[in-house]
Structure formats: C-alpha cells, structure tokens
Structure 1
Amino acid sequence: MVKEDIYKKLKEYQEKGLKLFTSSSFQTHSIVLLHLLSEFDNTIPVYFINTGYHFPETITYRDQIADLFKLNVQVVSSSTPRNMQKDAEGRLLFTSDPDYCCYLNKVQPLDAVLPNYDIWINGVRADQSAVRKSFGVEQPAPHNTIRFHPMLDWDVRMIEKYIKEFKIPRHPLEAKGYLSIGCEPCTRKFDIDTYNRQGRWFGLNKTECGLNTELVSKN
C-alpha cells in the first residue's frame, strides 16, 4: 500500500469509531511504519514489549525515535518475573525452551492488550518469512481484533528508500553487523550463513517469536 492508501484506510477505521494501536520492536525497518503513523496521528499508542532481554542500544534507540517522532509509547512486559522463568533444572527458559520464553515475554503481554482495541496496525512484510507471506492486508486476531498490515507488499528496497528520503536514524547495532535485532541472548551478528532473520535463534528451527503465529487467526 502507498502512503495515501494507508492513511485512507486508517481514516476509515477512525471514522467508524474503532480504536487503533500499533506495536514495534524498534528495529530500523520497523521505524518506517512509525514515521508514517506519526505523520498521520501521533497519538495512536505504540506498544513496546520489554522482555527484559533487549540490547541497551535498542532501549536507547526506542527513546530517540519516540522523542523524534513525538510518539505515544506504551511499555508492557511479562507478568511472570524473570527469576521464575526457569525450567525444572533451573535454567533460564531462553536456553532450554525459547518458544515458551517468547510466549511469556512477548505473546502474553500483547495478548492482554488486544481486548482494549479493535485494530492492531502491524508492520509485517511478506518478504520477511513464509508465515508473513501467507497473511492478508487485514487478518483476524484474538479478542475480535483485526490485524492491519499496511506494509505487507513493501520490500527492502522500498524501506531503504523511505529511510533515506526522510533521513531516519538507524538502529546503532546495524553498524556492528546485526540485521535482525531481538533479545540479546537469541540474536547474533550477520554472516554468510545467518542471512536476515536467521540471525535470530541461531541453530534452531525457529523464525518467529509467536506474535505472528499465535496472535493471528487464519481466514
């Protein structure tokens, strides 16, 4: 969708009295959607899920972008304390059960947000994974929420062009070789064998944290 079509759809939602929010991991490529939303209506809540495992640079970048775009950032986190996020042998879950770790730290916190809204503006792109390629522009989600995917048909070239056009600052870890930046224990630098999102959960058959698999309903 081009900017004008995105704004037209968002206006339609608002005119129907629907409550909108977005979520963001504050990676460089996700900032394009935040910039678009900031120009349309910067009061739309932006939920950042603080897992407790983020790189310090991500928190700094989040605050920088929030200030630059005048965003309404809301921070949510797991209701399960980190010292209780251990398996039967006392190991932290990200080492032994990363799926359950993601469930506690990402899926549950955002699942609690969904009942308060009608539209979840989500920046997924079809070129990011097979899971995301299967989505429609509008997709049902739990709690009678609709996921709106305005960036679904965007690709890396379009994202990079937009970033350059509007001179948007980049996540500082990109310069150090990180392309897909999530929680620190489960993220590694780019190399020829870990292209794109494969830099996350290295060595595991895992490419999603659960937000786009558990908090979505198939048509």
Structure 2
Amino acid sequence: MNFEAIRDQLEIYKAEGKKMFTTSSFQSHSIVLLHIISRVDKTIPVIFINTGYHFPETVEFKDRVAAEFGLKTVDLRSNTPKFMQRGPDGRLLFTSDPDHCCYLNKTQPVDALLMQNDIWINGVRADQSAVRKSMKVEQKAPHGAIRFHPMLDWNAKMIYEYQKEYNLPKHPLENSGYLSIGCEPCTRKVDPEMMEREARWYGMNKTECGLHTDLVSK
C-alpha cells in the first residue's frame, strides 16, 4: 500500500469510530510506518512493548523519534515482575524458556490491549519471514479486533527509499552491525551470510516472539 492508500484506510477506520493503536520496536525499518502515521494522525497511540531488556540505545531512540515526529508513545509492560520470571532452576526465562519470556513480556500484554481496541496497525512485511509472508493486509485478531498490515507488500528497497526521501533517523546500533534489534540478551550482530531475523534468538530455533503467531485468529 502506498501512502495515500494507508491514509485513506486509516480515515475509514476513524470515520467508523474504530479505536486504533500501533506497536513499534523502534528499529530503523519500523520508523517508516511511524512517519506515515505522523503524517495522517498524530493522536494514534504508539505502543512500545517495554520488556525491560531493551538496549539503552533503543529507549533513547524511541524518545528521540517520538519527539521528532510528534507522536504519543505509551510504554506497555508485563504484569509479571522480573523476579517471578524465572524457571525451576532459578534462571531468568530468557536463558531457559525464551518462548515463555516473550509470552509474559510481549504477547500477554498486547493480548490485553486488544480487548480495549478495534484496530492494531502493525508494520509486518511479507519479506521478513515465512510466517509474515502468509499474512493478509487485514486479518482477524483475538477479542474481535482487526490486524491492519499496511506495510505487508513493502520490501527493503522501498523502506530504504522512503527513509532517504524523508531523511529519517536510523537506530544508533545499525552502524555497528545490528539490523534486527530486539531485547539485548536475545539479539546479536548480523553476519554476512545470515538473513536479517536470524540475528534474533540465535541458536534457539526461534524467529518470532509470538505477537505474529499467537495473536492471529483463524
């Protein structure tokens, strides 16, 4: 979808009285959707899923982008305190059960958010993974909500061209070799032979946190 099509769809949702929000990881490629939203409606809440494990650079970048684009950001945190996020061996879950760690810190909080909203504007792209390639522009989510994927048909070249056209800021860790940036314990630099998302949960046979697998209704 181009800017005009995204704008028109958001205006339709607004005219229908739909309550909308977007989530963002505040990576460089995520900034394009945020910039588009800022051009259409700055009042749409931007949810930052604050797991407590983000790089300090990501948190600083989030604040910088929000101020520059005039966006309303909201930190969303788990209801389960960190001292309770441990396995039977006492280790923090990101070391022993990363799926459950993602569930407590990402999936569960967003699932609760879907109960209060109608439209989840989500920046997934089909070229990012096999899971995302199977998605549709509009897709059912739990609790009667709708996932809206306006960037689904965008590719890395289109993202780069938009970033260049509007001189958008880049995540400070990108120049250090980080291209897919999530929680610090589960993110590594990208090697030349690796796909972008292989740098996440490296060696764990895991490429999704659950937001785009568990929070999709059949």
More divergent stretch after superposition (145-154 vs 192-201): 192-201
Asked if 2 retains the 8 angstrom alpha-carbon contact of 1:194 and 1:202, the reply is no
The alignment's TM-score, normalised by the length of structure 1, stands at: 0.98
Asked if 2 retains the 8 angstrom alpha-carbon contact of 1:86 and 1:92, the reply is yes
1:181-217, Cα deviation, whole Å (9 max, x unpaired): 0000000001134330000000111100100001111
| AA aligned opposite 1:160 | Y
Give the corresponding residue for 1:80. 80
Give 3-state SS (helix, strand or coil) of 1:172's partner: coil
Give the corresponding residue for 2:61. 61
Q: How many residues get paired?
A: 218
Q: Distance in 1 between matches of 2:184 and 2:177?
A: 14
Structure 2: which 5+ residue stretches go unaligned? none
| AA aligned opposite 2:31 | I
Give 3-state SS (helix, strand or coil) of 2:95's partner: helix
| AA aligned opposite 1:98 | P
Give the corresponding residue for 1:105. 105
Matches within 5 A, 1:55-204: 55-204=55-204
Give the corresponding residue for 1:213. 213
Give 3-state SS (helix, strand or coil) of 2:168's partner: coil
| AA aligned opposite 1:39 | R
Q: Distance in 2 between matches of 1:194 and 1:110?
A: 29
- Calculate percent identity across the aligned residue pairs: 64
More divergent stretch after superposition (189-198 vs 59-68): 189-198
1:130-166, Cα deviation, whole Å (9 max, x unpaired): 0000010000000100000000000000000000100
1:16-56, Cα deviation, whole Å (9 max, x unpaired): 11111100010000110000000100000000010000000
More divergent stretch after superposition (187-196 vs 117-126): 187-196
- Residue 121 of structure 1 deviates from its aligned partner by 0.4
Structure 1: which 5+ residue stretches go unaligned? none
Q: Distance in 1 between matches of 2:52 and 2:9?
A: 34
Q: Distance in 2 between matches of 1:205 and 1:139?
A: 26
Give the corresponding residue for 1:2. 2
Give 3-state SS (helix, strand or coil) of 2:212's partner: coil
**RMSD of aligned Cα (Å):** 0.7
Q: Distance in 2 between matches of 1:72 and 1:197?
A: 28
Indicate yes or no: 2:23 matched with 1:30. Answer: no
Asked if 2 retains the 8 angstrom alpha-carbon contact of 1:114 and 1:143, the reply is yes
Q: Distance in 2 between matches of 1:188 and 1:194?
A: 11
Give 3-state SS (helix, strand or coil) of 2:34's partner: helix
Asked if 2 retains the 8 angstrom alpha-carbon contact of 1:187 and 1:201, the reply is yes
Q: Distance in 1 between matches of 2:192 and 2:5?
A: 37
